[in-house]
Structure 1
Amino acid sequence: MTTRTPSNSFSGKLTSLGLVSQIIIAIILGTMLAVASPEIAQSFAMLGSLFVSALKAVAPILVLVLVASSIANQKINSDAQLKPIVGLYLLGTLSAAFVAVILSFLFPTSLTLDLAGASANPPQGLGEVLSTLAFKVVENPISAIANGNFIALLAWGLGLGFSLKHASVQTKNTLHDFSEAISSIVRIVIRFAPVGIFGLVANTIATTGFSALWEYSHLVLVLLSAMFIIALLVNPLIVFLITKKNPYPLVFMCLRGSGITAFFTRSSAANIPVNMALCKKLELHEDTYSVSIPLGATINMAGAAITITVLTLAAAHSLNIEVDFATAILLSIVASISACGASGVAGGSLLLIPLACGLFGINNDVAMQVVAIGFIIGVIQDSAETALNSSTDVVFSAAASHHITKELS
């Protein structure tokens, strides 16, 4: 008869905790170590560097394969009733990016980054941005993966995805399986996030003091403010323009019935059954919401658009890059498109930040440090992002379905 040792029992309990709980513990332990012994804390910097390097390794190939697979395997639905809902999904995501731009301009965020060996080649005006964008798009895909050129990878992913839409089922399944395999590797890397965050927090606080925590709290406030504005002002306005009725009963019902569970599960996909039950309760057309809800979990990503936009502009501000409003609008469009292809894994939207950073010539080393900061604040950010995304799926499905019913009656 075998018995567990106390250490095994403790490690088993620690492993059984969710990722959020593990990250919270890592932040607390890293902070305590930095206060107790700054010298020892700085020696753990390698853990953070290894985590950032792992993210740099997996992110480029993830973007390429995920975008290509999602487009190639997209089901073509001839039901015209889905068009208004998809239109609302895209409008909501773009509106979220616009709000994020405005708040980032009003309340700019500076981040403490390791700029040793880093480089940034900021463009001068919208014309140069578009020119740089055009040349990045046509880079060889192998070079793009090696250099972390996410703009080219997005373009190649889109091209391959549309080209393979008419491929055989076997080819599409193979591409889907490959996408799932890459996503599995990303999940493994993210499972080590608590270890990496422990090293990052310990080294950052030991080096810069608690000023870094203020930076993170300011960043979280900007992110949450943008998400609240979308959930409580922009979305209700859109619903009112469609239904001509008070939108808040529907909005609050969706936040209670969908947003709360999504906040804790941190997965739009896991929240699909909850949303389907809520749509049934609202007496929506089953043929419509049975497609619109799973589709929304994939492309309705207002929260992700906010995260990508705010963190990218924070990186630009930290490097003293002047961003004009026209370029920021272009960033909003790129962020919206990128958000629609965000990975389904926790923190998946963060891995698309380097793509947006590429618009401003910010290199991969700096961009991935920003991604790592995103994982630190992800305890709150990712939960709120998922709650906004998932609850909005039902809000827009209900609003558009009401409009359709009204038009048909």
Structure 2
Amino acid sequence: MSENNKKLSLTSRIVIGMFAGIIVGILLKALFPDSTLVEGYLSKGLFFVVGQIFISSLQMLVVPLVFVSLVVGTCSLSDPSKLGRLGGKAVGLYLITTAIAITLAISLAVLVQPGTGIELDTNATYEPKAAPSLAQVIIDLFPTNPFNAFANGNMLQIIVFALLFGIAMALVGKPGERVKTLFEDFNEIIMKLVIILMNIAPYGVFALMAKLFAETSFETIFSLAKYFLLVLAVLFIHMLITYPIILKGLAGMSPLTFLKKMREVQIFGFSTASSNATMPVTLETVTKRLGVHNSVGSFTVPLGATINMDGTAIMQGVATVFIAQVYLVDLSMADYLMVVLTATLASVGTAGVPGVGMIMLAMVLGQVGLPVEGIGLIIGVDRLLDMTRTAVNVTGDAMVSVIVAKSEGALDEDVFNDAKADIDERNLS
């Protein structure tokens, strides 16, 4: 490794990998639009394999990381009733930010009117999966077999089991203390594994971006440009304005410091389009770079990755107005209020369900009498928007973690304000 490469931070290398992948993908699409060799050996070959290995490596860590860190954090609480306060504050903040997100999205969509005058194929179809009832969601929080929850990656069940396991360890006395030491050692090993895997991130991000842009149909994006750009604009407003205002107002912490330290997590979220896959990086950043105590971060980050749907709520708000305008349906103020309420509650009620974004949108459209088939109009550009939504969601997870930690006296402000408290310093050569 040359001296210049050693000087590049991990964030810089990931950014280089991302933009290099975008450029390579666009060039392959432009120069070899119908090449079976490019598609077979690069797009669906090398790029696909490297990208999937990268995502699988991150997903491999999610279940052990969440379980071990949450058990360690829970059994470290001197007062088990503190969990109730943590849960109430975290869920409350996640719901509030989601309500703000969809309200902002609807307001700007009504103002900009992205669907007015657009003629699209309104015969597009979409078959949503059935969403579970609220009663079933509550029942499903508790695993009948925790090992089955581990195998299936059911995060809410894993969180509940880890909390119960950690509380039992705290209450049992000396046996719990002995097991706690073992779990703390496991936690350190898993965190080290996170750091090791993050060093392959530039290559994984390059492959993901190259494959995506080599296969993306830009004609579809151009036909939905107004919708596409509006969703992007609202996502950035929420991430760069709403979150900083809330962070400064409720915790008094520097938004610039926060956003600077979140760059890596945002890039990971954008590249993987998965809050769960990004969770190891989010938790590492929240605890090591933002100064949140593990007893708080190990709870708020997995919970946020599961129920925090700010980015999805923004898409739902704009999409609802867009579909209504395309189908020439006038929505009343009561309809808009119903959209806000439904989307906010659905962010918790549909947590952990595959295809959650589209299921939630189908529920919202059904509540205000819009055709669910309208979802078919926007699926073509949803992949790129989904990536940006994830970057917003993981930023929200970290922001809520900082606010809750500050309110509980579990935030190391010296670490938060220290520019050198940076994961890049622990990169492997």
| TM-score greater than 0.5 by the shorter chain | yes
Whole-Å Cα distance in 2 between the matches of residues 266 and 248 of structure 1? 24
Shifted more, 213-222 versus 299-308: the winner is 213-222
Q: How many residues align?
A: 288
Are 2:91 and 1:91 aligned?
no
Q: Deviations for 1:75-112, whole angstroms, at most 9, x for unmatched residues?
A: 99951233322221111111111111111111112253
TM alignment of 1:281-360, pairs within 5 A: 281-340=289-348, 341=350, 348-360=356-368
Conserved in 1, the CA contact under 8 Å of 2:273 and 2:386?
yes
TM alignment of 1:75-114, pairs within 5 A: 79=83, 80-110=85-115, 111-114=118-121
Structure 1 residues 116 and 299, CA gap change in structure 2 (3 angstroms):
closer
Q: Deviations for 1:350-399, whole angstroms, at most 9, x for unmatched residues?
A: 343222111232233x23423xx23x223431111010101221121012
Residue of structure 1 equivalent to 2:27: none
Residue of structure 1 equivalent to 2:283: 276
Conserved in 2, the CA contact under 8 Å of 1:149 and 1:355?
no
Residue of structure 2 equivalent to 1:138: none
Give the partner amino acid of 2:134.
L
Whole-Å Cα distance in 2 between the matches of residues 248 and 117 of structure 1? 43
Give the partner amino acid of 2:96.
L
Give secondary structure in 2 for the equivalent of 1:405.
Answer: coil
Are 2:386 and 1:382 aligned?
yes
Q: Deviations for 1:160-202, whole angstroms, at most 9, x for unmatched residues?
A: 2334556x7149948995989xxxxxxxxxxxxx9xxx9x969
Conserved in 1, the CA contact under 8 Å of 2:338 and 2:368?
no
Conserved in 2, the CA contact under 8 Å of 1:94 and 1:336?
yes
Whole-Å Cα distance in 1 between the matches of residues 225 and 290 of structure 2? 38
Whole-Å Cα distance in 1 between the matches of residues 96 and 340 of structure 2? 12
Q: Deviations for 1:100-142, whole angstroms, at most 9, x for unmatched residues?
A: 1111111112253434599xxxxxxxxxxxxxxxxxxxxxxxx
Whole-Å Cα distance in 1 between the matches of residues 146 and 289 of structure 2? 39
Residue of structure 2 equivalent to 1:144: none
Whole-Å Cα distance in 2 between the matches of residues 301 and 175 of structure 1? 23
Conserved in 2, the CA contact under 8 Å of 1:81 and 1:288?
yes
Structure 1 residues 84 and 343, CA gap change in structure 2 (3 angstroms):
closer
TM alignment of 1:59-208, pairs within 5 A: 79=83, 80-110=85-115, 111-115=118-122, 153-154=130-131, 156-163=132-139, 169-170=144-145, 173=148
Are 2:45 and 1:16 aligned?
yes
Are 2:404 and 1:400 aligned?
yes
1:228 deviates by 1.3
Whole-Å Cα distance in 2 between the matches of residues 233 and 161 of structure 1? 33
Give the partner amino acid of 2:133.
G
Conserved in 1, the CA contact under 8 Å of 2:94 and 2:400?
yes
TM alignment of 1:204-223, pairs within 5 A: 213-223=221-231
Structure 1 residues 176 and 336, CA gap change in structure 2 (3 angstroms):
farther
Whole-Å Cα distance in 2 between the matches of residues 404 and 266 of structure 1? 31
Consecutive unaligned residues in structure 1, runs of 5 or more: 1-5, 23-74, 119-146, 181-193, 206-211
Give secondary structure in 2 for the equivalent of 1:294.
Answer: helix
1:250 deviates by 1.5
Consecutive unaligned residues in structure 2, runs of 5 or more: 1-34, 52-70, 75-79, 156-210, 412-429
Whole-Å Cα distance in 2 between the matches of residues 260 and 176 of structure 1? 27
Give the TM-score normalised by structure 1.
0.60
Whole-Å Cα distance in 2 between the matches of residues 387 and 308 of structure 1? 16
Taking only aligned residues, the RMSD between alpha carbons, in angstroms, comes to 4.0
Whole-Å Cα distance in 2 between the matches of residues 284 and 174 of structure 1? 27
Give the TM-score normalised by structure 2.
0.57
1:272 deviates by 0.9
Conserved in 2, the CA contact under 8 Å of 1:307 and 1:350?
no
